[in-house]
Copies of this chain bind each other. A is one copy, B any other.
Amino acid sequence: MFENKDTTRTAISTLGEFGLIDHLTKHFKIEQKTTVLGIGDDAAILDFNTKKQVVVTTDLLVEGVHFDLSYMPLKHLGYKAVMVNLSDVYAMNASASQITISIAVSNRFPVEALEELYAGIQAAASTYKVDVIGGDTTSSNAGLVISITAIGQVDADKVTRRDTAKEGDLLVVSGDLGAAYLGLQVLERERQVFKVNPNAQPDLEQYTYLVERQLKPEARKDVIALLEELEVVPTSMIDISDGLSSEVLHICKQSKIGCNLYEDKIPLDPQVINTCEEFNMDSTTIALSGGEDYELLFTIKQEDFLKVKANPHLSVIGHMTKESEGVHLITRANTKIPLIARGWNALEEDD
């Protein structure tokens, strides 16, 4: 689906700013009833005409900080940039309806490269049925910068914030954790091998799941639909972008409660377990701190336990306690260690 064809190179300047926007967005279709006017005016016009609440989220992705184009194809990058934002909308228990896309790009990128990027954005918008309603395209004297704002809607009584978990609630996570981080490690290792021996043929077969989780993550729209079907309204929810421990701490801090998280309940894919052994890494540490999983972490009332219990997409991994009890990991050896945030930090000193 995502092959790269880099045959011709058209300088961005041949199109001009407005020409470039037209060129890159001409295939974008408006599908949402709530979109009155999309790209092409000072602002987009939306008509919710409903009692639903509107959620708005925004993310900024910077080349060399959030992505490395040496192993991230531009089409995948476009797709992932949309996922990162939709994931935040779903984390409010909302349905996503619109996005805006702004990019700053240096002249080293030909138009064809931006076409790849926008093809990925379009694939994501089309698959997740969101309208691209606006944006900005400008030049950059450094690398590529992508800024996306996503908009969604939710019934006021179903919106899930971070600060509303209660003592006694159960902690639940969708999918499995740690794979995206390991995928990055695998790609990084291949790049080092390639540097030493450019003829080396990478064999990624045993890492396909890991690499896919890194390069083409999917936001859990399906989990929002599943919760609706199960008739479960989480008492709080957050998406896992920085790592499980960081997100658990966010919920606890903002809800003013504690948590016991059980190491043996953390869902791991077999490829994560095997690759952690190969890389001599601790899989729990990877799951806690890896980040970029884009799974949903939420709390539910105890009475909803039976509704989620047997579901293969959901794992109960802990329960919420009094704030004074603190936030702990209960290890397999049944020791209790304080959870600390080691999430990936985009503002780390890097020099």
Q: Residues on A close to B: CB < 8 A?
A: 11-13, 15-17, 20, 36-37, 40-49, 51, 53-60, 62-66, 87-89, 91-92, 94, 98, 100, 102-104, 107, 133-143, 145, 147, 149-152, 156, 159, 161-163, 237-239, 254, 345-351
Contact = CB atoms under 8 A, between A and B. Distances in A.
A142 B142 contact: yes
Given A42-B88, A42-B92, A48-B54, A60 B98 contact: no
A298 to B, nearest CB: 11
B41 A46 contact: no
Contacts of A17: 345-347
29 contacts: A13-B348, A16-B345, A16-B347, A17-B347, A40-B162, A40-B254, A41-B92, A41-B254, A42-B239, A43-B55, A43-B89, A43-B94, A43-B150, A43-B152, A45-B54, A47-B156, A48-B48, A60-B104, A60-B145, A62-B140, A65-B138, A65-B140, A65-B141, A100-B149, A137-B347, A140-B145, A145-B145, A145-B147, A147-B147
A53 B43 contact: no
Name which of A88, A134, A347, A349 has the most chain B CB atoms within 10 A of its CB: A347
A58 B147 contact: yes
Contacts of A59: 102, 136
Given A37-B161, A40-B254, A347-B137, A55 B45 contact: yes
Given A56-B100, A58-B149, A349-B13, A139 B65 contact: yes
A138 B55 contact: no
Given A42-B239, A43-B94, A238-B42, A350 B56 contact: no
A141 B150 CA distance: 25
A41 B161 contact: yes
Nearest to A349: B13
A66 to B, nearest CB: 7
Contacts of A51: 49
The 5 A-B residue pairs whose C-beta atoms are closest, nearest first, are A142-B142, A43-B57, A147-B147, A42-B91, A43-B55
Contact of A56 (B44, B136, B237): B44
A282 B306 CA distance: 77
Contacts of A37: 161
Contact of A162 (B41, B107, B137, B138): B41
A237 B41 CA distance: 9
A156 B37 CA distance: 12
A42 B36 CA distance: 26
